[in-house]
């Protein structure tokens, strides 16, 4: 007989989410650094910190917010930067 | 009565949206510089004076060199990055080849050889594939969704301008030689890069990177008009170093240098 768990391990899900965010943040950092330079990444990072006082990884939890920062710099083509 | 004049220190306000504006005074300065120079050549120098050719070549080379230095500076800033690093290096080499082409043209002219068509044209024409590489590399990386009307414009514009040029010039007694085909090569090159530059300006339009791209497109517009006008004049042997067409090239290079400065400032 299979026993289904009676509880949801919220702490574990939160850890997994945070790990995923870090992974995405690292991947975006790498894409920007490799293609359009470290300075560009720092500029975006500074802008996010200046406006919200949070690091990029935290902005990724609200992807539309992160996208809006990219759009500030690169216009409507910004979404494709993340998918690149 | 004692009145307290205490200055309240204002906290710096973080802008809600990043903005970058074009400083139109720079355009004014560019216009004044190139027009004054051309006016000086036209008014105070005889066409037979050897210094006229030297000064005309000098201003062309210096303005192209300024744009080349600005491109190298940006390329160095983004060194090792796949898109910005390589594309700005290509643009810088394109500008340097323009300077080289002008230098060869001047030397051949001084040696009483035919300066064009000559090897100088190979150097000058190499500018187009390099600047096209610069534009295409940037645009393709961002994989923009392009409207059908924009696509149509980008494809049709070079075709229409080239066909009109060919239709107007071909068949003329003077035009049935290498000069016509050389002019055609310049026109195809400049209209293709103009199309790509307009596309780039449209792609980045909503962001602050749109400002340098718009200025870059404007610089390329000036070069394109200059090339089309020059090709027309060359076919009919009407080109002189004192001709106002020279203004467009010098102004175009300086506007491109300003675009590169803007790029450095925003990103």
Q: Smallest Cα–Cα separation from B84: which of A36, A42, A73, A38? A: A36
Check if A26 contacts B (Cβ < 8 Å).
Answer: no
Q: Are the C-beta atoms of A67 and A82 separated by less than 8 Å?
A: yes
Residue in chain B nearest A76 by alpha carbon = B206
In a domain, A26, yes or no: no
In a domain, B22, yes or no: no
pTM listed for this prediction? 0.85
Number of domains in chain A: 1
In a domain, B38, yes or no: no
Q: Which domain holds residue A56?
A: 31-75
In a domain, B240, yes or no: yes
In a domain, A10, yes or no: no
Residues in Cβ contact with B180 at an 8 Å cutoff, skipping those fewer than 6 apart:
B169, B170, B235
In a domain, A62, yes or no: yes
Residue A51: list chain B partners with CB under 8 A.
Answer: 14
Percent pLDDT > 70 in chain A is 71
Neighbours of B39 (CB within 10 A): 12
Q: In the predicted model, is pLDDT for residue A15 greater than 90?
A: no
In angstroms, rounded to a whole number, what is the distance separating the alpha carbons of residues B244 and B222? 12
In a domain, B219, yes or no: yes
In a domain, A66, yes or no: yes
The answer to whether B205 contacts A37, with C-beta atoms less than 8 Å apart, is no
Q: In the predicted model, is pLDDT for residue B74 greater than 90?
A: yes
Number of domains in chain B: 1
In a domain, B259, yes or no: yes
Residue in chain A nearest B78 by alpha carbon = A37
Confidence at residue B3, expressed as pLDDT on a 0 to 100 scale: 56
Q: Which domain holds residue B80?
A: 48-266
Q: Token digits for B184?
A: 């055609």
Q: How far is A75 from chain B (nearest CA, A)?
A: 4
In a domain, B213, yes or no: yes
Q: Token digits for B217?
A: 């497109």
Convert the pLDDT of each residue in B6-53 to its tens digit.
Answer: 566 666 677 777 888 899 999 999 999 999 998 888 887 676 777 888
Which stretch of A11-15, B16-20, B30-34, B56-60 has the lowest confidence by average pLDDT? A11-15
In angstroms, rounded to a whole number, what is the distance separating the alpha carbons of residues B253 and B259? 10
In a domain, A41, yes or no: yes
In a domain, A14, yes or no: no
In a domain, A63, yes or no: yes
The answer to whether B207 contacts A43, with C-beta atoms less than 8 Å apart, is no
In angstroms, rounded to a whole number, what is the distance separating the alpha carbons of residues A77 and A71? 7
Residue in chain A nearest B16 by alpha carbon = A51
In angstroms, rounded to a whole number, what is the distance separating the alpha carbons of residues A29 and A57? 10
The answer to whether B18 contacts A35, with C-beta atoms less than 8 Å apart, is no
In a domain, A45, yes or no: yes
Q: Token digits for B225?
A: 């008009």
What values do phi and psi take at A4, rounded to 5?
Answer: -85, 145
Residues within 8 A of B (CB atoms), A 57-76 only:
71-76
| Interaxial angle between packed helices B50-77 and B24-44, expressed in degrees from 0 to 180 and rounded to the nearest 10 | 160
């Amino acid at each position: 007989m299979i026993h289904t768990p009676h509880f949801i391990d919220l702490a574990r899900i939160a850890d997994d989410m945070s790990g995923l965010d870090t992974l995405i943040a690292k991947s975006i950092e790498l894409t920007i650094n490799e293609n359009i330079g470290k300075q560009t990444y720092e500029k975006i990072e500074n802008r996010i910190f200046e406006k919200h006082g949070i690091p990029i990884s935290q902005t990724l939890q609200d992807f539309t917010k992160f996208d809006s920062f990219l759009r500030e710099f690169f216009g409507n083509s910004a979404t494709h930067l993340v998918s690149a | 009565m004692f009145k307290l004049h205490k200055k309240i220190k204002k906290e710096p306000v973080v802008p809600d949206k990043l903005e970058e504006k074009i400083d139109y005074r720079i355009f004014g300065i560019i216009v004044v510089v190139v027009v004054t120079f051309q006016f000086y050549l036209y008014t105070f120098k005889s066409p037979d004076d050897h210094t006229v050719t030297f000064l005309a070549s000098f201003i062309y080379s210096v303005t192209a060199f300024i744009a080349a230095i600005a491109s190298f500076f940006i390329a160095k800033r983004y060194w090792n990055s796949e898109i910005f690093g390589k594309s700005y290096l290509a643009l810088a080499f394109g500008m340097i080849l323009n300077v080289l082409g002008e230098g060869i043209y001047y030397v051949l002219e001084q040696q009483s050889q035919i300066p064009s068509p000559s090897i100088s044209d190979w150097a000058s024409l190499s500018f187009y594939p390099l600047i096209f590489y610069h534009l295409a590399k940037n645009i393709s990386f961002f994989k923009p969704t392009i409207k059908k009307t924009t696509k149509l414009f980008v494809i049709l514009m070079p075709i229409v301008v080239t066909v009109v040029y060919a239709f107007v010039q071909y068949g003329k007694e003077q035009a049935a030689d290498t000069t016509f085909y050389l002019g055609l090569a310049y026109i195809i090159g400049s209209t293709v890069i103009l199309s790509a530059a307009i596309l780039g300006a449209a792609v980045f339009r909503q962001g602050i990177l749109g400002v340098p791209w718009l200025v870059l497109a404007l610089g390329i517009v000036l070069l394109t008009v200059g090339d089309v006008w020059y090709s027309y004049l060359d076919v009919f042997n009407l080109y002189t170093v004192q001709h106002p067409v020279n203004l467009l090239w010098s102004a175009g290079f300086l506007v491109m240098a300003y675009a590169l400065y803007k790029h450095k400032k925003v990103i």
